[in-house]
Homo-oligomer: A and B are copies of this chain.
């Protein structure tokens, strides 16, 4: 697959794909005889994984480390698991925080519903 195809498939710019490769967030992609990238299925999986994890807010640094560990082979399985657990826990915490903020926003919006109603009816704004 060419970079254009991968770019379209995962909705990531070509620049971002080259950037991810350069910094080691995805593995090095093979080139044909004229030096042009040819993404394998395996490469694509990494692209997709990177995109997914980045969208969830995992830091690039951490994902680089994960790939580096992966490329060192089976000796690093325990370390990789550790890393994933750590990130999983961070993510879960962030989700919880965001959920409580979501609730707060819902509450605020409800208050606005009320206030609009009150204004429409020409009523007094309730105290406090």
Contacts and interface: CB of A to CB of B under 8 A. Distances in A.
Nearest to A91: B102
Nearest to A94: B98
Main secondary structure of the interface of A (DSSP, over half): helix
Interface in A34-89: 52-53, 55-57, 74, 77-78, 80-81, 84-85, 87-88
A102 to B, nearest CB: 5
A56 B88 contact: no
B55 A84 contact: no
Interface of A: 52-53, 55-57, 74, 77-78, 80-81, 84-85, 87-88, 91-92, 94-95, 97-99, 101-102, 104-106, 108-109, 112-113, 115-116, 119
